[in-house]
């Protein structure tokens, strides 16, 4: 079945332009709230919703994009290295982008893509073979393309980038195929890599003791969901995936840092400031990749800068985002 994007509207005007109507980044804001202030659609009129327009993508692949909306324009990505710019009011296409994916890809979950980041008049996305692409937002023209990793070694890329301080921060996928995960940043103007942090500790890292032998070289730790950013602390937060091999821990005794963890990185250098591992030595594929949400909470009568995450191990966590200190965890499902 071909995938379509459907916009619903009711008998009221739904604003797209302006600050409150924009959705400028994957998580709506750098804190990852994913909350819109728009109130034109509510419990009183939701029954009146009817399709305003439908746009067919012309692709049989999966659709996992979060569209971004800026100044009346909607930018969204699709499967198989595709993307579009649409007039958000009418669904009329302004431009399209398509690049054939190479053959021989090793993919766990199809040729999906989760969306764009935007800085000024430039858009940024990853392609499935592990490249970062910059496009002109007005025309869709390719401005630059940089290689993250070799898809022939099992790497791929699906996550929406995070735009931070004129940098494009991206993750990588492929833990199921003997890869070593990382988070990295590229200069938004030139496409040059600014820094890279490996999510699997190597021999010169304090976390190396949590691996046996050379298991770290293929230790997994994919970073396939977009992180968040605290400008005041200048910290980027990113969840990491399962160690590899995922279901058999016999060949990788130890806690396997920094897999299944939340990591906080200096935005300028990519250096690790703190980490919190939710599931040491994971053998259940309990990736810690759910969106890290930043919020200030009152705990014990004190205001705390917190990071909260619904983890795949069944617990809802709150951490102090200044230092990674554990605050509390509560199960959101039956945990055995």
Tell me the pTM: 0.94
- Tens of pLDDT, residues 264-299: 999 999 999 999 999 999 999 999 999 999 999 998
In what side-by-side order are the strands of the sheet with 235-239?
A: 228-230, 235-239, 261-266, 272-277
The predicted-structure confidence for 182-207, as pLDDT tens digits, reads as follows 999 999 999 999 999 999 999 889 89
Residues 6+ apart with CB under 8 A from 44: none
Furthest CA-CA distance within the chain:
64
Question: Could you write out the DSSP letters of every residue in 173-208?
Answer: B-GGGT-B-EEEEEETTT--EEEEEESS--TTSGGG
Q: What is the Cα gyration radius of the chain?
A: 20
44 vs 229: CA distance, rounded Å: 35
Q: Residues with catalytic annotation? A: 285
What are the tens digits of pLDDT across the range 45-67?
999 999 999 988 877 788 899 99
Q: List the beta bridge partners of residue 315.
A: 331
pLDDT-based confidence at residue 96 (cuts at 50, 70, 90): very high
- Tokens 């935007």 correspond to 118
Q: Is 256 left (phi over 0), alpha (psi -120 to 50) or beta?
A: left
End-to-end CA separation in angstroms for the chain: 38
């Amino acid at each position: 079945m071909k995938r379509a994007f459907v916009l619903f509207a009711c008998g009221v005007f739904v604003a797209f332009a302006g600050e409150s109507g924009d959705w400028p980044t994957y998580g709506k804001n750098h804190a990852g709230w994913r909350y819109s202030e728009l109130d034109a659609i509510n419990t009183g009129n939701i029954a009146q919703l009817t399709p305003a327009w439908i746009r067919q993508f012309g692709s049989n692949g999966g659709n996992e994009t979060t569209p971004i909306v800026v100044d009346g324009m909607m930018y969204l990505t699709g499967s198989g290295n595709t993307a579009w710019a649409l007039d958000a009011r009418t669904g009329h296409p302004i431009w399209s982008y398509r690049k054939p994916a190479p053959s021989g890809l090793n993919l766990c979950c199809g040729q999906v893509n989760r969306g764009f980041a935007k800085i000024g008049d430039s858009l940024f996305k990853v392609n499935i073979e592990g490249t970062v692409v910059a496009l002109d937002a007005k025309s869709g023209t390719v401005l630059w393309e940089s290689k993250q990793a070799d898809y022939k070694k099992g790497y791929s890329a699906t996550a929406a980038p995070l735009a931070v301080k004129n940098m494009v921060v991206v993750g990588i996928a492929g833990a199921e195929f003997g890869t070593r995960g990382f988070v990295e940043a590229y200069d938004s103007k030139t496409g040059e890599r600014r820094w890279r942090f490996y999510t699997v500790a190597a021999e010169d890292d304090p976390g190396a003791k949590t691996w046996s032998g050379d298991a770290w070289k293929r230790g997994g730790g994919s970073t396939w969901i977009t992180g968040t950013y605290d400008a005041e602390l200048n910290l980027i937060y990113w969840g990491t995936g399962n160690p590899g091999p995922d279901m058999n821990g016999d060949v990788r005794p130890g806690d396997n840092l920094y897999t299944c963890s939340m990591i906080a990185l200096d935005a300028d250098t990519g250096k690790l400031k703190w980490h919190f591992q939710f599931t040491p030595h994971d053998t259940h594929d309990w990736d810690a990749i759910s969106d890290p949400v930043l919020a200030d909470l009152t705990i014990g009568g004190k205001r705390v800068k917190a990071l909260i995450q619904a983890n795949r191990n069944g617990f809802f966590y709150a951490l102090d985002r200044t230092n990674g200190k554990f605050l509390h965890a509560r199960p959101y499902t039956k945990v055995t």
